Amino acid sequence: MEFIVTKDYKSMSTLAAERIVEQVRENPRSVLGLATGSTPEGLYAELVAAYRVGDVDFAGITTFNLDEYCGLSPDHSQSYHYFMREHLISHVNIDEARAFIPNEELVNDRPAWETYSARMDAAGGVDLQLLGIGQNGHIGFNEPDDNFSKGCHIVELTESTIQANSRLFDSVDEVPRRAYTMGIGDIMKARRVILVASGDSKAESVRDSFFGPVTPRIPASILQFHHNICVIVDEAAAKLCPVG
Ligand code: PGA
């Protein structure tokens, strides 16, 4: 595991964006697993900037987002479809036909764990998976549980996630209670993983995930078993870790 502590949010974002640009330059047909949330906003801004000056070309890539709320239309300002358009897709030359986000359609006829995960496999698997982390150690919307999940599925969000995400909605009652998410198995199949975390609120989950026992009660802890993972955290998120 590569564990990198950066000075602040900006340098975390810059480093993560550089790694993604390198990946796409090395393999212009890369399959990227993408994340939403406040944490990756800065790195997406850097990817847009890199595209604008001609440092990177996204025309050949395929993307698979980690998750989406159930019940929000793609035009809802808190849906992850909307987030991806706002922060990345509408600003760069990603082919929207190859930008996948789990949605209701994908669970209409067949179970989502067949359709979305099968699509990822059919695309050749994910070359680089970007992850944030929840205060409870979730990755995607894989909440603490008795087991590690396998493929894409529907989850009931925990109260702590609903509370954490309510900051983005008018009231806590508007936060969806359920979501679609890639499974832990999908995430572990990625050839390379980059996890970013920033701020004091992530300090405990970063410590527990990367320096504690591997347990489905802290879903990100399974990443200790990934063969190619780079964790990029700022000083605030690293403050409880036994490093440096
Ligand atoms: P955040 O969310 O980047 O908004 O903190 C991360 C997550 O919950 O996975």
Answer whether 220 contacts ligand 1 (Cβ < 6 A). Answer: no
Q: What is the pLDDT of residue 171?
A: 93
pLDDT above 70 covers a percentage of the chain that reads 95
CA distance 155 to 35: 17
Quote the ligand 1 centre to 167 CA distance (angstroms): 12
- DSSP strand pairing (99-100 vs 67-69): unpaired
| pLDDT average, residue stretch 13-40 | 98
Residues 107-131 pLDDT 10s: 555 665 567 888 999 999 999 999 9
Quote the ligand 1 centre to 109 CA distance (angstroms): 30
Q: What is the pLDDT of residue 243?
A: 86
In the set 81, 87, 138, 226, the catalytic residue is 138
Strands (E), the chain: 2-6, 31-34, 62-65, 67-69, 99-100, 128-131, 153-156, 178-181, 193-197, 229-234
Atom of ligand 1 nearest to the CA of 201: 5
Quote the ligand 1 centre to 74 CA distance (angstroms): 19
Answer whether 102 contacts ligand 1 (Cβ < 6 A). Answer: no
Residues 183-238 pLDDT 10s: 999 999 999 999 999 999 999 999 999 999 999 999 999 999 999 999 999 999 99
- Could you give the dihedral angle defined by the CA atoms of residues 115, 28, 95 and 56, in that order, rounded to the nearest 10 degrees? 140
Q: Please say if 173 is a catalytic residue.
A: no
pTM: 0.96
